[in-house]
């Protein structure tokens, strides 16, 4: 039953903008701002922001992971961390 509710929200977005939530997120991943996506899709920015959060969290997670990764040259066992 819960999955139906989520799907109804997706259908509402699709009908209104012809841009699926995954397409909105793909544009944000590609570097577009919420405002740019909203303008392109012809929908209010607050609707885009509903799908922006997971992408921004994903980006922050990957950035933190990269900062914690040691950098080393081939053949070295240790190296400095980025963050």
* Predicted local confidence at residue 3, as pLDDT: 59
Per-residue pLDDT of the chain (83 residues; tens, 9 = 90+): 455 565 656 555 445 567 899 999 999 999 999 999 999 999 999 999 999 999 999 999 999 999 888 887 777 777 666 66
CB-based burial label for 47 (10 Å; 0-12, 13-18, 19+): buried
* Predicted local confidence at residue 14, as pLDDT: 47
Residue 23 and residue 79: Cα distance in Å, rounded?
39
Q: How many CB atoms lie within 10 A of CB 36?
A: 14
pTM for the model:
0.64
Residue 69 and residue 67: Cα distance in Å, rounded?
6
* Predicted local confidence at residue 82, as pLDDT: 65
Where does the chain have alpha helices with state H? 2-17, 21-29, 34-41, 45-67
């Amino acid at each position: 039953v819960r999955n139906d509710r989520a799907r109804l929200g997706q259908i509402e977005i699709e009908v209104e903008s012809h841009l699926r939530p995954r397409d909105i997120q793909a544009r944000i991943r590609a570097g577009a701002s919420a405002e740019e996506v909203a303008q392109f899709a012809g929908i209010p920015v607050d609707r885009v922001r509903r799908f922006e959060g997971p992408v921004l969290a994903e980006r922050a997670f990957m950035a933190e992971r990269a900062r914690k990764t040691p950098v080393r040259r081939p053949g070295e066992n240790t190296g400095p961390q980025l963050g």
